[in-house]
Chains A and B, each alone.
Chain A
Amino acid sequence: MSDARGPGAELEAALSSLASETGDHPAVSVPDFHALARQLDAETGPAAWLRSRSTSERFGVLIAVAVAASVVAATLGGWTDLALLAQGRLVLEFALLGGFALLGMAGSVRGYHHRELPRWMGWGLIGATLVVPLALALMPMPSAEVPEGAAMAAALGCLMYGLAIAAPVLLVAWVLDRGSWRGRPSVRYAASAAGLAGLVGLQLHCPVHHAEHLMVGHLPVVLAMLGTAAVLGVLSRR
Chain B
Amino acid sequence: MLSVVIALLLGVLRILLSPGGGGGRSDEDLFAAYVDGDRAAFAELWERHAPALSRLMRKQIRRPEDVNDLVQQTFLQLHRARRDFRQGAPLRPWLYTIALNLRREYWRRRGRSPIAPVELQEHMMPSTQPVDIVGKEDARRVRAALARLPDGQREVIELHWLEGFSFPEVAQIVGASLSAVKVRAHRGYKVLRRYLEPEEGTA
Contacts and interface: CB of A to CB of B under 8 A. Distances in A.
Interface of A: 5-8, 10-11, 13-31, 33, 35-37, 39-40, 43, 51-55, 57, 111-116, 178-179, 182-184
A125 B113 CA distance: 25
Query: Counting chain B CB atoms within 10 Å of each CB, which of A7, A20, A25, A39 scores highest?
Result: A7
A39 B189 CA distance: 41
Contact of B64 (A13, A14, A28): A28
Interface residues of B, number: 66
A14 B141 CA distance: 8
Contact of B105 (A15, A111, A183): A183
A120 to B, nearest CB: 14
Given A16-B161, A18-B161, A5 B142 contact: no
29 contacts: A5-B182, A8-B189, A14-B139, A15-B162, A17-B139, A18-B142, A18-B146, A19-B161, A21-B139, A24-B126, A25-B126, A26-B51, A27-B51, A27-B52, A27-B58, A35-B68, A36-B72, A36-B76, A43-B80, A52-B82, A52-B83, A55-B84, A112-B77, A113-B94, A116-B101, A179-B105, A182-B109, A183-B109, A184-B108
Interface string B86-107: 0000000010011001101100
A36 B75 contact: yes
B169 to A, nearest CB: 13
Given A19-B162, A112-B97, A115-B175, A30 B77 contact: no
Given A14-B138, A52-B83, A30 B50 contact: yes
Given A23-B162, A116-B101, A18 B138 contact: yes
B84 A25 contact: no
A112 B81 contact: yes
Given A22-B55, A115-B174, A35 B120 contact: no
A29 B125 CA distance: 14
A54 B71 CA distance: 22
B186 interface: yes
Residue among A30, A111, A184 with the highest chain B CB neighbour number at 10 A: A30
A115 B124 CA distance: 32
A18 to B, nearest CB: 4
B135 interface: yes
Contacts of A24: 126
A20 B58 CA distance: 16
B38 to A, nearest CB: 13
Contacts of A37: 39, 43
Given A28-B123, A111-B80, A184-B105, A15 B142 contact: yes
Contact of A36 (B46, B55, B109): B46
B157 interface: yes
B196 interface: yes
Contacts of B60: none
B77 A114 contact: no
A33 B47 CA distance: 8
Contacts of B126: 24-25
Contacts of A113: 77-78, 81, 84-85, 94, 97-98
A21 B136 contact: yes
Interface string B144-179: 001000000000010001101000000000111000
A97 to B, nearest CB: 29
Given A14-B142, A28-B123, A31-B50, A183 B157 contact: no
Nearest to A28: B124
B179 to A, nearest CB: 11
